[in-house]
Amino acid sequence: MAEPNETMTTASAIISFAEKLEEDSFRFYGELAEKYTEERETFLSFVKESEKNKVLLTRTYQETITDAIEACFSFKFLDLRDYLVETTLAEETNCKDALKRALEFEEKGSRFYMDVAERSRSLLATIPLAFRKVAEVRNKRKLKVKSLLEKLT
């Protein structure tokens, strides 16, 4: 995947970024499931969701990309750096800090999917639909992470 920067506008770059986001998610939550076993099931369900999200996004893109859509010019004014979150946790990170990072990750992820859904409204219906669906998954996850955080405080 190309390094994200403010000039990224191709559909391919957006999908690669989304795929990376989901890959980071299943790695990140996989680590949390191993480290913080009391919430293992919740984190593993996030891993599964992200795997499904990635399949959905890749499939939607591959099944709808044609020269009928302005694939190289659809996502202008999108700075992908705005959605980046560091997902590698230091060894000594406690559960609370890890959850705070998870919350930031979900917030930015959800915002990313809503932003690209908005920008792809003029494309085939399945494209914004897929982005919105993943944004909803991330929103629900955000609520779960929040409640886990509240349990700890």
The residue ranges that bind other proteins (CB under 8 A) are 1-3, 5, 7-13, 16, 61-74, 122
Q: Rg (Cα) of the chain, in Å, rounded? A: 16
In terms of CB distance, is 14 or 102 closer to other proteins? 14
CA distances from 86 to 18, 21, 101, 145 (A): 15, 11, 8, 17
Contact present, 5 and 80 (Cβ < 8 Å)? yes
| Cα distance between residue 60 and residue 146, in whole Å | 30
User: At closest approach, how far in Å is the CB of 37 from other proteins?
Assistant: 37
In terms of CB distance, is 58 or 139 closer to other proteins? 58
User: At closest approach, how far in Å is the CB of 44 from other proteins?
Assistant: 29
In terms of CB distance, is 72 or 152 closer to other proteins? 72
In terms of CB distance, is 16 or 110 closer to other proteins? 16
User: At closest approach, how far in Å is the CB of 72 from other proteins?
Assistant: 4
Residue 43 phi, psi dihedral angles, 5° rounding: -65, -40
